[in-house]
Structure 1
Amino acid sequence: MDLTTTVAVDEENSVARVSLAGALNTDTAPAFELRLQDVVDKNYALTVLDMKDLDYISSAGLRVIFKAAKQTRGRGNKLAAANRKPHIDKVFEILKALPDMAVFANEQELDDYLDSMQSQVRGD
């Protein structure tokens, strides 16, 4: 599955909205990282990741988001995730509950777990 991103900017309020549609995974994360980095580099006070149409997220996608969050925080700005579907929200809940704990043997094990949790919440 591919990932489509669109960026809408409200210059007056210094807000960028990055809408994601499709899957943010190992294949799509590198291009998304470049696109998101371009937005972060413009130093908006708030960057919103609109996940209304995001169907799947892997550890590669999470790394891109966490890297951008760290960069925006370091610049005194904010990064927010909005409109998360229940299965995407579940991934963020899991990571919030275990922020500093390495629970998985490797990246593939983490991706398999995230895939399983997202499938379970979707009812697949």
Structure 2
Amino acid sequence: MTFSLSIESALPERTTVQLHGRLDALTFGEFDDAIQPLLSRMADAGTMVLDLSALEYISSAGLRSIAKIRKHMRGHGGRTLLVNPQPQVHKVFDIVKAVPVNEVFASTRELDDYLDRIQRRIVDGAEGED
């Protein structure tokens, strides 16, 4: 599956974007290009809402894209909210929050392989298995 996004609302004070498919090394550039004009129109102290209900997969490249959005919004006194993540995507955010991944994984490829395995396990219903 590929990646796409849809804009649910695009007000300067609050913009909501729904992400669809896979946000990974092949699609993050498309996401970055699509989100940039929206960020440019955001008011200071605005809120960017990323609806993840249709996002099936995220890699470290996707995480970096979301981190750039968060940094941009914080720099303008705003915030970024992530809502409705599917269980496998939520697990990735839990892992990243709990573990300083740049200190644990030897490479981005190793991190992406790990995130891929975790997300597949959750989708397949085998979350607790190693």
TM-score by length of structure 2 reads 0.88
CA distance in 1, matches of 2:102, 2:4: 32
Q: What displacement does 1:15 show?
A: 1.1
Measured after TM superposition, the shift of residue 38 of structure 1 is 1.6
Distance 2:100 2:40 in 1: 26
Hey, what does 2:39 align to over in structure 1?
Answer: 40
1:31 maps to: 30
| CA distance in structure 2 between the aligned counterparts of 1:7 and 1:50, rounded to whole angstroms | 10
Match for residue 57 of structure 1? Answer: 58
Aligned equivalent of 1:107 = 108
Question: For 1:27, what is the secondary structure of its paired residue?
Answer: coil
- Identical aligned residues as a percent: 37
Aligned twin of 1:16: 15
Question: Unaligned 5+ residue runs, structure 2?
Answer: 126-130
In the alignment, the residues of structure 2 paired with residue 22 and residue 111 of structure 1 have an alpha-carbon distance, to the nearest angstrom, of 16
Structure 2 CA distance for aligned equivalents of residues 99 and 47 of structure 1: 25
TM-score, scaled to structure 1: 0.92
Give 1:10 deviation, angstroms.
Answer: 5.3
Cα drift, residue 17 of structure 1: 0.7
Q: Is structure 2 residue 90 aligned with structure 1 residue 84?
A: no
| Structure 2 residue matching 1:105: 3-state secondary structure | coil
- In the alignment, structure 1 segments of 5+ residues that lack a partner are none
- TM-superposition CA deviations, 1:66-114 (whole Å, max 9, x none): 0110110110011111000010000000011024752111110000000
1:63 aligned counterpart, secondary structure? helix
